[in-house]
Amino acid sequence: MKKLKELFSDTLIYGISSVFARFIGYLLVPLHTGVFAENQYGIVTLVFAAIALFNVLFTMGMESTYIRYGKDRDKAEDIFKTLQLFLLGTSLLFVVLIWLLQPLIAPRIGLPSGDPILWMMLGILFFDTIAVVPFAELRIVRRPKTFAVLKTANVIVNLGLNFYLILGLDYGIEAVFISNLVASFLTAIATALFTLPLFKGSWDKDLLKKALYFGLPFIPAGFGHAINELVDRFFLKGMDPGTVASLYGAEYTPDDVVGIYGACYKLAVFMLLIVQMFRMAWQPFFMRESDEESAPVTFAQTFSAFNVAAAAVFLGVALFAEQIVSVKIPFLDFYLVGQEYWLGLKVVPLLLIAYWFQGWYINFSAGIFISENTQSLARITLFGAGITIICNIILVPLWGMMGAATATLISYSSMALLIFYYSTKAYAVPYNIWEGLGIIVCCATAVWLKPLLVNAILMPGILASVFLFVVTLGLVLALSFYSINKAK
Picking from 22-26, 297-301, 442-446, which range would have the lowest pLDDT averaged per residue?
Answer: 22-26
CA distance 394 to 444: 24
CA distance 300 to 296: 6
CA distance 344 to 112: 28
Q: What is the DSSP letter of 328?
A: E
Q: What is the pLDDT of residue 299?
A: 85
Per 3-state DSSP, the chain is made up of helix, strand and coil in percentages (nearest 5) of: 85, 0, 15
Q: What is the pLDDT of residue 402?
A: 95
3-state SS assignment for residue 335: strand
Query: What pTM does this model have?
Result: 0.74
Judged against a pLDDT cut of 70, whether residue 10 lies above it is answered with no
CA distance 339 to 268: 18
Q: Give 14's pLDDT tier (boundaries 50, 70, 90).
A: low
Task: Count Cβ atoms below 10 Å from residue 387 Cβ, excluding itself.
Answer: 21
CA distance 388 to 332: 38
Alpha carbons within 13 angstroms on the beta-carbon side of residue 227 total: 22
The helix (H) or strand (E) run that includes residue 253 is none
CA distance 200 to 209: 20
CA distance 356 to 272: 8
CA distance 400 to 242: 12
Q: What count of residues does the chain have?
A: 488
Instruction: Report pLDDT digits (tens) over 152-207.
Output: 888 889 889 998 999 889 888 899 999 999 999 999 999 888 888 777 777 777 77
Instruction: Report pLDDT digits (tens) over 32-63.
Output: 877 888 788 888 888 888 888 888 889 888 88
CA distance 222 to 129: 14
DSSP string, 399-424: HTHHHHHHHHHHHHHHHHHHHHHHHH
Picking from 71-75, 116-120, 392-396, which range would have the lowest pLDDT averaged per residue?
Answer: 71-75
Q: How far is CA 184 from the centre of its chain?
A: 18
